[in-house]
């Protein structure tokens, strides 16, 4: 197997988490560790790990930057994160993926071609914050945006390969995120269930 290309991980870990009572969503625990810690462990082999968001506990080797304006949304956060990327490939992730693993990241990088690759969930929906991109293409697309725009509009022109990871029956998918109290409760239940 060919060695995987060097990459930088950019993790978007901001947002108000209004549906979760305004608590810092990436710092909520699932399975005995914070969701952000799980995401950062999945990309331990990155050349550089960058977290975009407000001050929060991070490993010493992780760079933290803040989007401008603070709370300005995912495109502003992406712009801030890209300023810290020295590699040709950037893995773009949400900070609330409690079941993300290094295996999924390896699959993304192994499938990388053209402008990038992103995960598609079991309903056929693109997971915009679970993908790998050519840094130059992503920077060019972000540079063409003015004002607040949806992340989908920034990524759409990049013509990414779609990756549909196989999820074993009963296993939580790597794209499962926690936007609501019900999502968080379900994730915690899944993390507590014994693995067969």
Indicate whether 17 pLDDT > 80. Answer: no
Count how many domains the chain has: 1
Domain for residue 46, yes or no? Answer: yes
- What pLDDT, in 10s, does the model give residues 138-157? 999 999 988 788 999 999 99
Domain for residue 3, yes or no? Answer: no
Rounded Cα distance between 118 and 152, Å, is: 12
Domain for residue 54, yes or no? Answer: yes
Closest-CA residue to 175 (of 122, 117, 136, 111): 122
Domain for residue 1, yes or no? Answer: no
Domain for residue 94, yes or no? Answer: yes
Domain for residue 183, yes or no? Answer: yes
Rounded Cα distance between 154 and 147, Å, is: 12
The whole-number average pLDDT for the span 39-45 is 97
Domain for residue 177, yes or no? Answer: yes
Closest-CA residue to 127 (of 150, 84, 93, 95): 93
Closest-CA residue to 130 (of 163, 167, 159, 178): 163
What is the domain extent for residue 74?
Answer: 8-192
CATH number for the domain including 161?
Answer: 3.90.550.10
- What pLDDT, in 10s, does the model give residues 44-103? 999 999 999 999 899 999 999 999 888 888 999 999 999 999 999 999 999 999 999 999
């Amino acid at each position: 197997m060919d060695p995987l290309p060097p990459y930088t991980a950019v993790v978007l870990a901001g947002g108000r988490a209004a549906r979760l009572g305004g608590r810092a969503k990436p710092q909520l625990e699932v399975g005995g560790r914070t969701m952000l810690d799980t995401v950062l462990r999945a990309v331990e082999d990155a050349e550089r790990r960058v977290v975009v968001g407000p001050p929060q506990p991070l490993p010493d080797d992780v760079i933290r930057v803040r989007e401008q304006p603070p709370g300005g949304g995912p495109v502003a956060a992406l712009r801030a994160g890209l300023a810290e990327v020295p590699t040709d490939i950037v893995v773009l992730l949400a900070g609330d993926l409690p079941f993300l693993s290094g295996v999924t990241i390896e699959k993304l990088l192994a499938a990388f071609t053209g402008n990038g690759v992103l995960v598609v969930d079991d309903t056929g929906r693109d997971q915009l914050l679970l993908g790998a991109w050519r840094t130059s293409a992503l920077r060019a697309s972000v540079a063409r945006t003015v004002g607040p725009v949806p992340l989908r509009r920034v990524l759409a022109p990049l013509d990414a390969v779609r990756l549909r990871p196989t999820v074993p029956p009963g296993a939580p998918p790597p794209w499962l995120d926690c936007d609501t109290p019900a999502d968080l409760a379900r994730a915690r239940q899944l993390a507590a269930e014994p693995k067969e």
